[in-house]
Amino acid sequence: MIFQDIKAQIKHIQSSDPASRSALEILLLYPSIHAVALYRLSHFLHIHHARFLARMISQFARFLTGIEIHPGATIGKGLFIDHGMGTVIGETAVIGDYVKLFHQVTLGGVNFTHGKRHPTVESNVEIGAGAKVLGNITIGQNAKIGANAVVLKDVPANATAVGIPARIVVPHKNEVLDCECAENCIHRKNQPLK
């Protein structure tokens, strides 16, 4: 499983990062590869009830890469965390296949209750640098989250969310659908952004 995932990550990185030069460079020098490989080991231990050892490995990965992935998170194949430093993925987060996260992304919770409290990020999602995706929400397939956005509500598939708090922008139409501004706001449906 780990080796198949590393292969999927390398392919994903090669297809989406123009700075990558070779598979060997990616394998040796990209912190995303190391963080996810160590996550796979810690996740295996976590689901087999060796949770202290699992957390030790995840903390070692955090020290080594600057990427914190809780061993309880569920991550699909081909995850690419570009640059990675400061990225946090919470315990009940679920990430689909071929997701791309930039540095300082947080997939976090908004409360301390037991149960699902972190986001679900479906396949082929891209989340910009510094974005905070918080709570038990769903980011739909092929969605994009803008840099530094704070996402507190579901984002539908193929949509883009930007801002604080994040608003949904329809791709290629440059419209905002769920603005909470006053009645004459420029973000109202069918009016282009200025």
Q: For residue 73, count other CB atoms closer than 10 A to its CB.
A: 20
Active site residue 12: no
The C-alpha atoms of residue 24 and residue 119 are separated, in whole angstroms, by 33
Of residues 12, 70, 103, 172, which has the active-site annotation? Answer: 103
Place of tokens 């539908």: 156
**Can you say whether the dihedral through the CA atoms of 61, 65, 68, 71 is positive or negative?**
negative
The C-alpha atoms of residue 9 and residue 114 are separated, in whole angstroms, by 31
Distances (CA, A) of 170 to 129, 143, 146, 179: 20, 10, 13, 12
Residues 6+ apart with CB under 8 A from 27: 6, 10, 33
Catalytic residues: 103
